[in-house]
Structure 1
Amino acid sequence: MGQALLAYMGIVSIVLLILMGMDKSRAKNHEWRIAERTLFTLAIAGGAAGGVLGMYLFRHKTRHNRFAFGFPLLAAIQIFIIVQLWT
């Protein structure tokens, strides 16, 4: 069960990381953006680690307190759950 959950969270994290990069690119080009609700939904669904990585890799949403505090908090909770299930 732990390996399947870890694989799932890894996939969702990669998807969120890619979406953060796409949204940053769209923001620079004044194009249609990805909804913040979509980004948070993926973070809550297990991809918070990818969201945190995307925030700092692309320097995106780092000034928004909901993201700056929310994504790392969600990532910490998700990592804690993985560690608890793994041990």
Structure 2
Amino acid sequence: MIYLISYLVVINCITFCLFWMDKQKSKKQAWRIPEKTLLGFSAIGGSLGGICGMQIFHHKTKHPIFFIGLPFILILQGGISLFIYWKIF
């Protein structure tokens, strides 16, 4: 269980940082982090970090794939986690 929690903390921190980096790059009109990368890190467990990054940095807040997709991914991950927990314990 400690490995799972550690993984989720790390992946959420990475996702949060990716949103920050992409926001900084957008201000400088530099090479950007692809949306697939941001969504991919959110899908593999970093959805909470992505939502926090999106809200704190006001980044990607007008893109439906993000303001609808990230909460949907988080709810889906929570539901799957509860289902697995319920079946195992």
Q: Give structure 2 stretches of 5+ with no counterpart.
A: none
Deviation at 1:32, TM superposition (A): 0.5
Deviation at 1:30, TM superposition (A): 0.4
Moved over 4 A (4+): none
Q: Give structure 1 stretches of 5+ with no counterpart.
A: none
Deviation at 1:34, TM superposition (A): 0.3
* Alpha-carbon separation, structure 1, partners of 2:72 and 2:42: 10
- Residue by residue over 1:35-75, the C-alpha shift from the partner in whole angstroms, topping out at 9 and shown as x without a partner, is 00111110111100100000000000000000001111111
CA RMSD of aligned residues (A): 1.7
* Alpha-carbon separation, structure 1, partners of 2:44 and 2:75: 14
Question: 3-state DSSP class of the match of 2:9?
Answer: helix
- TM-score, scaled to structure 1: 0.87
- Residue by residue over 1:2-56, the C-alpha shift from the partner in whole angstroms, topping out at 9 and shown as x without a partner, is 3322221111110000010000010011000000011111011110010000000
User: Structure with the greater relative contact order (CA < 8 A, sep ≥ 6): 1 or 2?
Assistant: 1
Q: Does 1:65 align with 2:64?
A: yes
Tell which structure's C-alpha radius of gyration is larger. 2
Q: Which residue of 2 aligns with 1:9?
A: 8
Question: 3-state DSSP class of the match of 1:56?
Answer: helix
- TM-score, scaled to structure 2: 0.86
* Alpha-carbon separation, structure 1, partners of 2:68 and 2:18: 19
Q: Does 1:27 align with 2:23?
A: no
Between the two proteins, the alignment pairs up a number of residues equal to 86
Percent identical among aligned pairs is 35
